[in-house]
Amino acid sequence: MYAGEPSGRANQPWYLNIAVRGETDFAPDALLQFVKRIEAEAGRKTGARWGPRELDIDIILMGNRVVREPHLAIPHPQMSVRRFCLVPVAEIAPEVPVPPGGETVRDLLEACRDPLEVSPL
């Protein structure tokens, strides 16, 4: 678990960030519906972006899939510029190639210029 300096909006608490690696038979849309249900059950309110929230689950990678839909993008389109995303993912999957370019998660982290602090807890 990591504490991450908030981005997008000042004057809010730091976020807690973790990455989870697993396997699923879900199609991307079904996985998105599943994680949205978990967020709702945790009390997440829809609406405001960039602010404190009970739970925010992002689908960062899904094997070698590339999905670009208005409601879903895999790999996550901002992962390579967000240290708070890359640090936890690099801990569990540093050598995983990120489509479509094939750079590894470690490569993306080493190239990331995000100045926001991420600290292990």
pLDDT digits (tens, 9 = 90+) for 90-120: 999 999 999 999 999 999 999 999 999 999 9
- Is the pTM here over 0.75, yes or no? yes
The dihedral region occupied by 2, where left means phi > 0, alpha psi between -120 and 50, and beta the remainder, is beta
Range of the domain at 22: 2-120
Q: What is the tally of structural domains in the chain? A: 1
Average pLDDT over residues 60-69: 97
Provide the annotated active-site residues. 44, 53, 56, 58
Q: Which helix (H) or strand (E) holds 120?
A: strand 118-120
CATH of the domain at 98: 3.30.70.560
